[in-house]
Chains A and B, each alone.
Chain A
Amino acid sequence: MDKEKRNTNYNVYVESKIPKTKAWPSLFKAFFLGGLICAIGQGFFDLYSYLFPNLAESEVTTCMLMSIIFLTCLLTGIGIYDVIGAWGGAGSVIPITGFSNSISSPAIEFKKEGIIYGICVKMFTIAGPVIVCGVVGSIICGVIGLFI
Chain B
Amino acid sequence: MISVWDYVISFLVGGFICFLGQILVIRTKITTARILVLFLIIGMILEVFNVYAPFKEFAKAGASVPIIGFGASLARGAIMATKEYGVIGIFTGGLTATAGGISMAIFASFIFALIFSSKSKRGGH
Contacts and interface: CB of A to CB of B under 8 A. Distances in A.
Task: Assess A/B contact in the complex (Cβ within 8 A).
Answer: yes
Given A79-B119, A107-B112, A141-B78, A134 B14 contact: no
B61 A41 contact: yes
B23 A66 contact: no
B13 A137 contact: no
Given A96-B101, A99-B105, A108 B112 contact: yes
B88 to A, nearest CB: 10
Contacts of A89: 21-22, 25
A97 B105 CA distance: 10
Secondary structure dominating the interface of B: helix
Interface residues of A, number: 82
A35 B75 CA distance: 24
A98 to B, nearest CB: 6
Interface residues on B, range: 35 or more
Chain A interface, >50% SS class = helix
Contacts, number: 290
A129 B109 CA distance: 17
A132 B46 CA distance: 19
Interface centre among B12, B15, B101 (most CB of A within 10 A): B15
Nearest to A111: B113
B44 A66 contact: no
A126 B64 contact: no
Contacts of A87: 125
Given A43-B7, A66-B100, A99-B67, A141 B15 contact: no
A87 B78 CA distance: 36
Counting from the closest, the 7 A-B pairs by CB-CB distance are A138-B94, A34-B18, A38-B14, A35-B15, A142-B90, A90-B21, A145-B79
Given A96-B67, A99-B105, A123-B113, 20 more contacts: A30-B15, A31-B22, A34-B19, A61-B69, A64-B61, A65-B101, A78-B116, A94-B39, A94-B66, A95-B65, A102-B33, A107-B112, A108-B113, A108-B117, A115-B114, A135-B74, A135-B94, A139-B90, A141-B48, A143-B82
